[in-house]
Structure 1
């Protein structure tokens, strides 16, 4: 088998030379286009990295500032309301109206806690407990003592009390 002698004909020589030159030119165009596209993408990635680092720095700064503001606000919390709840009314068989009046009276006695700093009131919780437990309440011609079951301190202070006969 023999290869035909096309290399001797000038028209075929021009065709093959054109193919080679066209291949080289197309390869150069491809390299140029790929290089510019790659350069644009690398530039875009670099800009995005810079934006991400700036946003991370801003986010960390804002988070620190947010934590600091929360801490300051928490330090400035004050008592806005005092709620008293008396339980154990079924064992003592006391009227609900008398219980409600006693709760109102105790709320009035503890009115001095309003607008006080939360830390100060929490620091004096034993004093508040002693003040409440040393009171004797007269309901239905019987004397009762109050015992503190639970105390929750926040902007609304909740105190749960239990009625006990003074004899106990």
Structure 2
């Protein structure tokens, strides 16, 4: 194989020289454009990184304030409501829902003094509440019944789940 004798024709020499010079010039233009774009992006990223650090500092301060306020609010929680549920009354043949409702209301009246009290104070006296409810004797349909506390939940609402038993 032989290389064609293009070196003898000046037209081809000018073409290849122009292509080489054009390639070098276009490469320099590409490098300049790419460099300026990269410089803009680098400064943008640096500004954004600084802004992110500032915002993270603000977020951390706000979170600390938020946690502090939550802690203060938890300390100031008070009892707002008392919820009583009596279960297993069907077991003793009590079909009188009015009697059960009146029993629940009388227990609520006994515990009414706990409303608007501090949650921690009420929680510390949970055994007293339990004994108060368990020592109460109810009279429904001419029979005496005692209550047993099965579940006791504290938050802004005190929830009592009670079971009924025949009194001795």
TM-score by length of 2: 0.81
1:49 maps to 2:49? yes
| Aligned-pair CA distance for 1:158 | 0.8
Distance 1:21 1:91 in 2: 103
* Residue pair 2:79, 2:157 contacting (<8 A) in 1 also: yes
Q: Which moved more, 1:18-27 or 1:125-134?
A: 18-27
Structure 1 residues 90 and 20: CA distance shift in structure 2, 3 A: closer
- SS of structure 1 residue aligned to 2:34: helix
* Deviations 1:30-78 (CA, angstroms, capped at 9, x unpaired): 3322221221111111112222222322233333332222222222211
- SS of structure 1 residue aligned to 2:78: coil
**Paired residue for 2:101?**
100
Q: CA RMSD in A?
A: 2.5
1:165 maps to 2:166? yes
**Paired residue for 2:154?**
153
Distance 1:13 1:98 in 2: 115
* Deviations 1:124-152 (CA, angstroms, capped at 9, x unpaired): 00001111111122222222211111111
Structure 1 residues 5 and 119: CA distance shift in structure 2, 3 A: closer
Structure 1 residue runs of 5 or longer lacking an equivalent are none
TM-score by length of 1: 0.81
**Paired residue for 2:127?**
126
Q: Size of the alignment, in residue pairs?
A: 165
